[in-house]
Amino acid sequence: MVSADTLEPSVQPGPPSAEKPLLSVEGLTRVYGKRIGCADVSFELFPGEVLAVVGESGSGKTTLLNCISSRLAPTCGTVHYRMRDGASADIYKMSEAERRYLMRTDWGFVHQNPIDGLRMTVSAGANVGERLMAVGNRHYGNIRRAAIDWLARVEIGEDRVDDQPRTFSGGMRQRLQIARNLVTEPRLVFMDEPTGGLDVSVQARLLDLLRGLVSDLGLAVVVVTHDLAVARLLSDRMIVMKDGRVIEAGLTDRVLDDPRAPYTQLLVSSILQV
């Protein structure tokens, strides 16, 4: 359970606006046999808001991300998503086809390892273009133009449009995966350690790029990271997990500058000492 002083009432209902939450997670629990993946997690995410989920290895971040992105059925609890028509839908009561459509259009998922989110044996342009085709675009010229535009936005030159991502560096692959996800202008993007596994200098550039895109497109994002610097740079709010539970939640600057839970204090101070 999260104690009252680690959860600020002012941040729990989200930003002070009349907007309704895009994502509402209530009492989400996932167990693997006797092991807890995540337990009793509740939060709301508002349009255009970036939420970081932080915690050490094994704290339940990936389990939570998979449950809220409809990749892993929770043991109990609910996840509601506000559709474009304003209706709130329980993602686990949708048909498989509805869920897939959502994942292709309104949602994006950026994997830590770009190989998991790209098709390695088709061209970079096709990787981006096929997401557009999946939402009904048919005009080859327009699709190619949009793909080239998006490659430019993620700093991949037009001369690489016909190259396969297996010929790209790790950083380029990750930027391509981001373009593939964002080309359909999703409203919500899930990111699992998006800068993990990259060199520090590449990470910094990618983070900058991501921050710009998220703000330009007004994206709502749930980003899982064990890196507090990533949380600081990208997120408005954060939740800290330990042993599958949320032990602290609040505005990112508040949590990092004035952590209240002893575990968060330890996490923050251990990073600062590095």
Ligand X SMILES: Nc1ncnc2c1ncn2[C@@H]1O[C@H](COP(=O)(O)OP(=O)(O)OP(=O)(O)O)[C@@H](O)[C@H]1O
Question: What is the nearest approach in angstroms of ligand X to the Cβ of residue 15?
Answer: 27
Question: What is the nearest approach in angstroms of ligand X to the Cβ of residue 258?
Answer: 24
* Closer CB to ligand X, 57 or 201, in the complex: 57
Question: What is the nearest approach in angstroms of ligand X to the Cβ of residue 215?
Answer: 26
Q: Which amino acid is at 261?
A: A
* Closer CB to ligand X, 153 or 226, in the complex: 226
Alpha-carbon span 127 to 81, nearest angstrom: 27
CA dihedral 138, 221, 11, 270 (to 10 degrees): 180
Interface ranges with ligand X (CB under 6 A): 32, 35, 37, 55, 57-63, 226
Going by the DSSP 8-state scheme, the letter that residue 7 receives in this structure is B
* Closer CB to ligand X, 57 or 121, in the complex: 57
Alpha-carbon span 59 to 65, nearest angstrom: 12
Residue 25 main-chain phi, psi, to 5 deg: -110, 130
* Closer CB to ligand X, 55 or 108, in the complex: 55
* Closer CB to ligand X, 35 or 71, in the complex: 35
Closest CA to 267 of 49, 25, 52, 40: 52
Question: What is the nearest approach in angstroms of ligand X to the Cβ of residue 204?
Answer: 21
Question: What is the nearest approach in angstroms of ligand X to the Cβ of residue 7?
Answer: 20
* 6: alpha, beta or left? (left if phi > 0; alpha if psi -120 to 50): alpha
The strands making up 188-192's β-sheet, listed across from edge to edge, are 107-110, 188-192, 220-225, 50-54, 237-242, 245-251
Alpha-carbon span 124 to 26, nearest angstrom: 38
* Closer CB to ligand X, 34 or 84, in the complex: 34
Question: What is the nearest approach in angstroms of ligand X to the Cβ of residue 113?
Answer: 12
